[in-house]
Amino acid sequence: MPPKAPTVEPDCLVSRRISLSLDAYFELQAFQDQLLGAAHTIDPETSPSPSPRKTEQARHRALASVFRTWADQVERTLETARST
């Protein structure tokens, strides 16, 4: 089997710097708020109503986790944009 060629990351990934317009930054921030709102709607941390069946609750938690992870990724992008 031939050896793998070394992979080279693009300059944009090496520097970890991004540039956003102010409008784009605020749109991304609003999107993050929507993701967190969706996660909270799907799986509220404190539920006043009786909990759904366990399998349904597990699906809700998994989906909410996806939205929270996505929101965390957006937050990292926002932090990078703020630091540049």
All structural domains of the chain with their residue ranges: 16-45+52-83
**Rounded CA separation 13/8 (Å):** 10
Question: 1 with 57: CB under 8 angstroms?
Answer: no
How far apart are alpha carbons 70 and 7 in whole angstroms? 26
What pLDDT, in 10s, does the model give residues 13-46? 556 667 778 888 888 899 988 888 888 888 776 4
Whole-prediction pTM: 0.52
Give the C-alpha distances (Å, rounded to integers) separating 83 from 8, 13, 17, 26, 31.
Answer: 25, 16, 8, 15, 20
